[in-house]
Structure 1
Amino acid sequence: MLVPQGFSFAVAQAGFKREGRYDLAAVVSDGPASSAGVFTTNLFKAAPVLAGMQAIEASPTARAVVVNSGQANACTGEPGLADCRQSLELVGAALGLEPDAILPMSTGVIGPRLKLERWRAAMEPLAASLGQAGPMDAAKAIMTTDTFPKVAWARVGDTPAVVLGMCKGAGMICPNMATMLGIVLTDAAVDPGTWRQMLAQAVDESFNRVTVDGDTSTNDCVFGLAGGASGVEVVDDESAQALYEALVDVCQSLAYMIVQDAEGGTKVMRITVAGARDDAQAELAVRAVGHSPLVKTALYGRDANWGRIAAALGRSGAAFDPAAVTIAIGGVVIFEQGRPVDLDIDALMAPVLRRQDVDIDVTLGDGPGGAVLLASDLTHEYVSINADYRS
């Protein structure tokens, strides 16, 4: 694992939801780091999202990110905001930081307020852990229904600088910056304005390109800290491009892991739409296919039911000529010029649909528009997990 210089990690067992597991984590920069944040578009924004937005707007730099699992602090009104501020004061006092320099993230069940007495009890072990824990410990601490910790890293070009990211998310996933939280760190030096633009664009190319169930959470948030400890500076287009490519690489790797770890999921669909009138039309089409319960359940059942894909395209709102549409699964064209091909589709598709990764390629016409989306299948286990989520 490549870990950026100038950052320390801490974890603690606070018992927010269940005993015996890490559920509180902090990432601390040695000095002020250029800060960036991308936040949920859900109108019911959780208290930590609102506090994080305020912090990013108030200052170009930050010193730390603190994350808890097991309690979302969402739909808690002004008392929830006050709880969030108090939690930052506790963490600041424990780690020797100004509360305003800490960016908050939370995930868990919507509604309940923070258990501040458990925050207080966790401060001593959190402080003792600082510098002793690593990125994988922090990634484990922010998990909820995730089955594995999600960490990715990349080197910035041929320099010593590194980008490291971690995230959590497996259900309630359709980021439109799902309970999806992400932290991205780099030891490259980049001005806050450039860094914020980079993170927003990278999120659009990664986390906003995935769906599990079409639900956008109250708590979705991605924070980025650029500390500069490597001595590598972004000073021109070439160095900016190198940092951006590493950032996108890390974010796309994490985004894939989210779909791979979808609640109850067994498949990852890579849906590509080309030939649309424009990108917006392609976006409508690709999301209609990726969100469709019928498409997702067919994929789970290894059923080459191309009709469900065609039907989703037809109701997507995208404008196209049905007679010009081509659909391919796993590189095999099964629908062309508005009708199925004359092949034994079930036999051809059987080995393709046994794979974890399944490509679905759609051509709507000869226009310039295109879009890509990663989507999971929909299984019995997904229903079981979410039917019992609060118990």
Structure 2
Amino acid sequence: MSIEPKGFQFAVAAAGFKRPDRNDLGLVLSLGPASAAGVFTTNRFQAAPVLVCKELLGARPLARALVVNSGQANACTGEEGLANCRATLEMVAKAVGIGAGDVLPTSTGVIGAQLKMDKWAAAAPQLAASLGTATAMDVAKAMMTTDTFPKLVAKTLSLPAGEVRVLGMCKGAGMISPTMATMLGFILCDADVDPADWQAILRHAADRSFNALTVDGDTSTNDTVLGLANGASRVAVRDAKGLKALRECVTELCQELSYRIVQDAEGGTKVAHITVAGAKSAAQAEMAARAIGTSPLVKTALFGCDPNWGRIVAALGRSGADFDPDAVELRIGGILVFEKGQPAPVDLDALLAPIMRHQDVEISLDLKAGRGRFTLLASDLTKRYIEINADYRT
């Protein structure tokens, strides 16, 4: 049985934007109008596709298609970049027989270069020819840059009116520490959902997934997550109970995608699950978790399998969160490491050595200052990360 939501088709093309040996252009087409939602980067330098996408959604929260290219970010490209972005939508829309205003654009790649419009013109007909033969996995592969594997998750939700399918795909391995979205992600659903409800669902899910991870502390110019809900299942989700169930399903799907991003972090070998509880507020818990998860010293200790808890408490101390240092409790892998202002009186290196060798490492702190809580997924920092980013443009 197909895992793909009903009423969607997929297409890919090898445009040669950066490399001639792979598909680097993808299209998701809804067979009918779909409720459209989006969350975007908060970087002040927003790429042309981000600006155009926000403009289109602001005018009308409906769409028929999502188009994605890798190899060209079309960021920091001025008015020419905006004009080129709109022109690519015209090309794609004409090729597949829909209106340009029904296509939402996304791009990823090197910042600063203008789009190769001749390659777009040649690739648009290839997309049309690929419709109906390509799969969601093909699109997930086409949007990859430094990713080592495609990221795709599918779920089904049983409601009283029938079954609903949800599918998510994303790309991202570096330049990731978002506050509104991840690098690029698409959430597709065949439920009939009001656009305002669909936007609320997507934002809720993003806040608990794509906004709760970090690889390297950098937020891209192009970060975008888009959602389409086309109603092809003929299952209408209007009541509070149904909307809650769909929201939980989409959130769980996005959390699984987020884990795969950190798992595939550029050069990464570890996924740290950093939970800060007992903060004065959720915002303070997030401040503390992010200070720890983005600390180069904590991240390199993770890479070295070094249970250097001092780096964790030092990062917590500079985070800006308000707490009593003598009240803090720190556990790594469930083992009490630090309390009452000092380390636990045991051989911590011996106890923690096997825990630190695992891919997934649990780091839990209780600040004993309130009820605020936040969990962040973070990667380690490796020599390979430096190599990848030193050579990114070659």
TM-score (normalizing by structure 2): 0.98
2:244 alignment partner in structure 1:
241
Name the structure 2 match of 1:52: 53
Measured after TM superposition, the shift of residue 58 of structure 1 is: 0.7
Q: Report the AA paired with residue 93 of structure 1.
A: K
- The residue identity in structure 2 corresponding to 1:40 is T
| Alignment equivalent of 1:186, drawn from 161, 186, 189 | 189
Distance, in Å, in 2 between the alignment partners of 1:128 and 1:147 is: 27
Distance (Å, rounded) in 2 between the aligned partners of 1:179 and 1:274: 24
Q: One-letter code of the match for 1:91?
A: V
Distance in 2, Cα, partners of 1:57 & 1:266: 40
Amino acid at match of 2:259: Y
Q: Is 2:257 the partner of 1:254?
A: yes
Measured after TM superposition, the shift of residue 179 of structure 1 is 6.7
1:101 aligns with 102
CA distance in 1, matches of 2:57, 2:132: 25
* Paired residues of 1:157 and 1:242 also in contact (CA < 8 A): no
Partner amino acid for 1:329? I
Contact kept in structure 2, 1:167 and 1:182, CA below 8 Å: yes
- Percent pairwise identity: 62
Aligned pairs for 1:285-296 within 5 A: 285-296=288-299
CA 1:110–1:179 in 2, change beyond 3 Å: closer, same or farther?
Answer: farther
Gaps of 5+ in 2: none
Q: Indicate the residue corresponding to 1:336 in structure 2.
A: 339
Spell out the pairing of 1:258-297 with structure 2 (5 A cutoff): 258-297=261-300
Output the TM-score relative to the length of structure 1.
Answer: 0.99
Among residues 343, 346, 349, which one is paired with 2:349 in the alignment?
Answer: 346
Look up the SS of the partner of 1:241 in the other structure: helix
Aligned to 1:114: 115
The amino acid that maps onto 1:145 is T
Q: CA deviation at 1:242?
A: 1.5
Residue 173 of structure 2 corresponds to 170
What displacement does 1:157 show?
Answer: 3.3
Alpha-carbon deviation of 1:283?
1.1
Aligned counterparts of 2:382 and 2:181: Cα–Cα separation in 1: 18
Task: Output one character per residue of 1:233-260: Cα deviation in whole Å (capped at 9) or x when no partner.
Answer: 1121111111111101111110000000
| AA partner of residue 263 (structure 2) | Q
2:324/2:369 contact within 8 Å kept:
no
Task: Tell me the distance in 1 between the aligned counterparts of 2:306 and 2:342.
Answer: 18
Quick one: distance in 1 between partners of 2:249 and 2:154? 8
Q: Does 1:372 align with 2:375?
A: yes
Please name the residue that 2:137 is paired with: 136
Query: Which deviations, in whole Å up to 9, do the C-alpha atoms of 1:90-121 show, x marking residues without a partner?
Result: 00111111001100000000000000100011
Aligned to 2:393: 390
Give the CA RMSD over aligned residues. 0.9
2:292 alignment partner AA: V
Residues 330 and 360 of structure 1 are in contact (CA less than 8 Å); yes or no, is this contact kept in structure 2? yes
Alignment CA distance shift 1:203-1:361 (3 Å): same
Given residue 249 of structure 1, which amino acid in structure 2 is its aligned partner? E
Structure 1: which 5+ runs fail to align? none
Contact 1:154 1:249 in 2 (8 A): no
Letter in 2 for 1:200: R
Give the Cα–Cα distance (whole angstroms) in 1 for the partners of residues 343 and 158 of structure 2. 46
Task: List 4+ stretches of structure 1 deviating above 6 A.
Answer: none
Offset of residue 360 of structure 1: 0.1
| 1:307 paired to 2:310 | yes
1:359 & 1:157 partners in 2: Cα distance? 33
Distance 1:131 1:316 in 2: 51
Please say if 1:202 is aligned against 2:205. Answer: yes
CA-CA distance at 1:332 after TM superposition: 0.5
Q: 2:252 and 2:157 mapped to 1: Cα distance?
A: 10
The CA deviation at 1:366 is 4.3
- The answer to whether the 8 Å contact 1:10/1:131 transfers is yes
Give, in whole Å, the separation in 1 of the partners of 2:149 and 2:379.
Answer: 16
Residue 151 in 1 paired to residue 152 in 2?
Answer: yes
Aligned letter for 1:164?
L
1:337 and 1:142 mapped to 2: Cα distance? 49
1:7 alignment counterpart: 8
In 1, the alpha carbon distance for the partners of 2:388 and 2:182 equals 14
* 1:298 equivalent among 298, 301, 310: 301
Q: CA offsets, 1:191-245, max 9 Å, x none? A: 0000001101110010000000000000000000000000111121111111111
Distance (Å, rounded) in 2 between the aligned partners of 1:169 and 1:235? 33
Which residue of structure 1 lines up, in the alignment, with residue 93 of structure 2? 92
Deviations 1:343-377 (A, max 9, x none): 11111011101110000000111411111100000
Rounded to whole Å, the distance in 2 between the matches of 1:292 and 1:176 is: 17
Alpha-carbon distance in 1 for matches of 2:252, 2:246: 10
Structure-2 residue corresponding to 1:75: 76
Code of the aligned partner of 1:325: V
Letter in 1 for 2:9: S
